[in-house]
Structure 1
């Protein structure tokens, strides 16, 4: 018996022991409920690594995050929070864990979160709201909510990643201020160009037009070809003068400053119909009093851009424009019966200038404290609605 045991090679014994250890490790992981695991090969051969063995590393990673991380029950009790979240709400971590997440929200934001929690428990959502810190300060954040686990099929666990939006909001405000400054400079330059066109180019063209008419009158009827050329030159100069005058009005409409928004909307609609053949119908444009100058200019520019998009992309036959005063709010509604587009995913041919046009309209509205919404469906037309809240105490100017 002893002689038989001695014949077993030492290397084989070592291999068998290694395999036995691997089997025991696998059994231990199974008994402990550690289902998630991986098999790795190192210097000492293959070995089972369970995710539970990496728990410490995961916790270190979460604690090192520059974002808040939490796990909650569906009734918003905090089971776990990292130090970053505790710093966000300016509250000791031991006072955060075990408490309710609702205490860091306003009633309105709490209702918003409650409305999204059911969906979050299934697929996950992202929402933006304000965290109310322990010292009374408010922090704008984005919360990403995902379902994490289902303990025993009864208690669902929700995971949250909380991102501080303070710097992002500050950047947005700086960009918006820069955009507003660009709009101001742009309008000033447009006014200057319009003035130079009117005072210089238009007057020169009119003078040349008069001279060409004089030349045509002086030419003998016997010199009919030369007279015909002079008349053609006169007509061409007249058409050029009209185009320059139209450009001047678009750059800085004097009608807007003198007669107000009603008149300039009618003039722009009439000019667009005569130039493109697309019928523009105006309704509800009679306002009892003048709006603030910046508001009137913003609405006029938005209509200009919308009509430009209709001409370039919509292939519409009719456009309706509705301007109304609703209390302290002015509304501009522009609808067309064109081909429409997918607002979520614009076709390639609509990229570029058209996207910049929509962005410009949004910024124009935001510049005067308004909002702009675009609704469009393929082959069902497009609707653009602008709502601008007028200043309280001085809602309009006479």
Structure 2
């Protein structure tokens, strides 16, 4: 009797232990978000009970996304991550969840994330970082951060969408390379046109100018009307030759190649003042060494375009140009006292050439590894700053 009773108790204990294991597994699945509904006994027999807060359709959508999706605590602990993010960092999903998001970032990017998480706790924000995958590779990404509801306690939940920027960066690099090639071809064409104008057209105009002067000298005072016409023709030809020489210099300034950036900036300012009446002052310490040719040409072209915009739009009385070398950085600062404009929204009459002019200046700066910023407010003038970092592989030349 005792033996049979012991066997029955043993079976009951085994059954209870199995049910406990099943209950623990069910609770674990509920905590991990793997269960959206339960089948249980109700007043009308077996019923399906939907868990409070279950969002099965949204979970399927998030898992099907081509972007990484995560939820984090304010301490950067990953509460949830989809499979896409796990593939981004080349790490099994079970090793991603529960760990710190900062382990996929460099120390500097981790500090940046902490700073932005404080701001994102109120409004949300977007930042670009490098993800450090488990296999040692690095992935450029954009992270959209948005605060979510609290988890029932005091802790806030942060939502993240991680977008792979690899293709976007590759496209940007291709566009940048294409822009650089266009600039190179453009400068080569300008140089060729300038050479042909100087060697052919300018020489012909000078010859005609000499002959017109000879003709005027040969006419007697009795042929005063004809002599006056010859003198007018001579003056017109002289003015045409000067304009052509100015166009040639703008296409390919020989003084830039021979004397450097300082000299060409001063010559450009002097010519602009003589032509428009707008005073141009050049300040800054003269450069002790020559800059790389591409850098000098880019700064010259940017000044050209800035002065063109001043003449067409600014209605300025004075322009100041400041050139300086700050360690390995070259700075060009152009200020005018004109009417200014709204950099976010320009008037319709300026949208054509002005927009293209600003875009061209940005591309010129980017072509040599620099940055260009424009600050302007209506009726207070415009400031254009160019900063170019001289890389060790592209130093200044003597």
Query: TM-score band (shorter)?
Result: 0.7 to 0.9
Unpaired segments ≥5 residues, structure 1: 1-49
* Structure 2: 5+ residue stretches without partners: 1-49
RMSD over aligned CA atoms reads 1.8
CA distance 1:210–1:100, shift in 2 (3 Å)? same
Q: How does 1:1-398 map to 2 (within 5 A)?
A: 55-152=55-152, 154-392=154-392, 395-398=395-398
Task: Report if the CA contact (8 A) 1:316-1:336 is conserved.
Answer: yes
Is the partner of 1:222 in helix, strand or coil?
helix
Q: CA deviation at 1:63?
A: 0.9
Return closer, same or farther for 1:252/1:176 CA change in 2, 3 Å cut-off: same
CA shift in 2, pair 1:187/1:393, >3 Å:
closer
**Distance in 2 separating the partners of 1:390 and 1:96:** 41
Q: Is the 8 A contact 1:262 1:285 kept in 2?
A: no
Task: State how far apart, in whole Å, the 1-side matches of 2:82 and 2:346 are.
Answer: 41
**In 2 relative to 1, CA 217–153 (structure 1 residues): closer, same or farther, beyond 3 Å?**
farther
| Range with greater deviation from structure 2 (74-83 or 249-258) | 74-83
Deviations 1:56-110 (A, max 9, x none): 2211111111111111112211111111111001111111111111111111111
Residues 1:393 and 1:61: Cα distance change in structure 2 (over 3 Å)? closer
Q: Does 50-59 or 130-139 show the bigger shift?
A: 50-59
Indicate the residue corresponding to 1:39 in structure 2.
none
TM-score using structure 1 length:
0.84
Alignment partners' CA distance in 2, 1:52 and 1:259: 78
Q: Deviations over 1:319-352 (max 9, x none)?
A: 1111111112211111111122222233322322
The alpha carbon displacement at 1:242 in A equals 0.4
Moved more, 364-373 or 182-191: 364-373
What is the aligned residue count?
Answer: 349
Q: CA separation of 1:394/1:117 partners in 2, compared to 1, >3 Å: closer, same or farther?
A: closer
Regions of 4+ moved over 4 Å: 50-54
Work out the CA distance in 1 between the residues paired with 2:181 and 2:66.
34
Query: Once structures 1 and 2 are overlaid, which stretch shifts more, 303-312 or 208-217?
Result: 208-217
